[in-house]
């Protein structure tokens, strides 16, 4: 492992933590940074994929509400899904 530095190990630890789902505050604590902004200054690129996941989670309640809105009851007590008509 010639040429491997402690700095390389810190970068690896940060990358593995982010890949495991750690948020910026957790990575900050792991690396001993004074602030989350210091962590983001160095490792912001590792957190980029989170935006799509956040957007999808924010869309879930809206999609569920829209699905409920499209359903209505019938006289016999059954449910008609208007989205499937």
pLDDT block averages, 10 residues each, the chain of length 85: 86 89 91 92 78 83 73 59 62
pTM beyond 0.85: the answer is no
Whole-angstrom distance, CA of residue 19 vs CA of residue 28: 15
Domain boundaries, the chain: 7-71
Whole-angstrom distance, CA of residue 57 vs CA of residue 46: 19
């Amino acid at each position: 492992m010639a040429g491997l530095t402690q700095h390389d190990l810190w970068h690896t630890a940060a990358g593995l933590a982010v890949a495991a789902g750690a948020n910026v505050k957790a990575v900050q604590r792991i690396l001993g940074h004074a602030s989350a902004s210091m962590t983001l200054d160095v490792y912001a690129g590792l957190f980029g994929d989170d935006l799509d996941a956040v957007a999808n989670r924010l869309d879930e309640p809206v999609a569920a509400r829209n699905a409920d809105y499209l359903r209505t009851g019938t006289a016999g007590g059954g449910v008609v899904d208007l989205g499937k008509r």
